[in-house]
Structure 1
Amino acid sequence: MRDGNMRAPPRTAAAGGNAMQKYLAEAVGTFVLVLGGVGAAVLAGDRIGFLGVSFAFGLSLLAMVYTVGPISGCHVNPAVTVGLLMAGKFDKRHLAGYVVAQCVGAILAAAVVLIIAKGAPGGYSAAAEGLGSNGYGSASPEGYGGGAAFIAEVVLTFLLVLTVLGATDSRAPVGFAGVAIGLVLTLIHLVGIPITNTSVNPARSLGPALFAGGVALEQLWMFVIAPLLGAAFASAVYRLVNRPAVQITAARAEQATEEERRARITGARDVEHPV
């Protein structure tokens, strides 16, 4: 018999708690991405080169897809969030929360990298050495101009967001989204580091720019606008060529299947209560 006085927890409270978990996951994921990628560039770039830095970004993202992906979708990038929103795979109510969390995570990671770098013999100056910030013209690693940098950032972000959309499609192979997304980010950095140090992520650009100041802050606008344009183009192409019968979120796509989860729970119980 049901007790008429018993009520389920208010939906707003449950939704609010769930939202905060997602925001925290995005902050942590972005922190790891920037710490791993920018940290590799600043602290070990002269040893591992462009190839090593590219893999540092790709492996950081791959790890986070499987760590925080089932919680938040592991966007860790405002451009990815906007692309998923425009493709109908993300709830617009969480847009501001995700973007703020991503920016906070990136800023904290850049601060940690700077603190560590300052401990090197002779210290470290973010203003003089850039802290892995993005740039064009005199701030480009190979001196690429603004036009080339803008096109590169739009196209490379297009490639990233299109891969995220495809890898998290309801018909994509289950469990492989992280591999595809991590590898494409590696590829993107292999192409983009000589041009702009590779942004494709406004939060990743914001973190180092705040500490480097100067040209990095003056040119930051490009690394906000170009990735967002690339994300918009990717969403438009995805919706044009791909019309899935069932639309699912990135977080749902990055979760294990129900059968896999049940098997894990059963296995854990068997270990805890051996016969």
Structure 2
Amino acid sequence: MDNPVSPAGRLLRDWRQRRQRSQQQLALDAGVSARHLSFVETGRARPSRELILQLCLALGIPLRERNRLLLAGGFAPAYAERALDSAALDAAREALQRLLAAHEPYPALVVDRHWNLQLANRPARALLGMVDPSLLQGRINVLRVSLHPRGLAPAIINLAEMRAYFMRRVGQLASDSGDPVLAELRDELAGYAPLPGEGAAGQSTGNDFAVLLRLRSPVGELALLSTLTVFGAPADVTLSELALEALFPADAETAERLTRLASA
């Protein structure tokens, strides 16, 4: 009789296929035999806790999904998950707040895996003040706020270019993670109609090394570069899913205008 595929084996196979890796490639990277990996995926062998973690590491699977795989294999989760405002994460939260404050007068914010806002400095909150208050009720999603017709979209000068950039970004994240919430967000953003005069995404208006966000603001036009920072080697699910996005001025005029915006 055929062995039923175990939940852990099925999940591992799904992740391997999502990463576009063959059994032979993954077996070499994880230091196991391709035969044993095949047995695990088809249910003929039960993976050990150590093997699941080896394969997760080789596939670059997020910590949240590693816990899910361990549970499917009958093992306890390996990684804690605590709220950002919990006492256990006081040191991490304080570090993030120091980074946000140190980046002023330039905008910076912290988002979770679904691009929901967790923390923001004063200049970032000033930019959020440009959007319709209805988008700031409850959980604030940074990508939604950026592209929604009542959000920052009308103020983005190179909107077609930024829309294409954001859609590539969320599409890749949804594909890499298999997260249904990100897939739903991607579909929602794709449903927003182009604004009048938006045009089509064409030649970049920024530098040749990065896409610039060009934004109308109360203090004048801003040209902004974006960088992302993540925690190194996190052992907590929440921390592994946080990213700090810092915006930098792309020219002297923007630097001066951001200083005025922060002061206001």
Shorter-normalised TM-score: what interval? under 0.3
Larger proportion of helix: 1
| TM-score, with length taken from structure 2 | 0.21
TM-score by length of 1: 0.21
- Flag the structure with higher strand content: 2
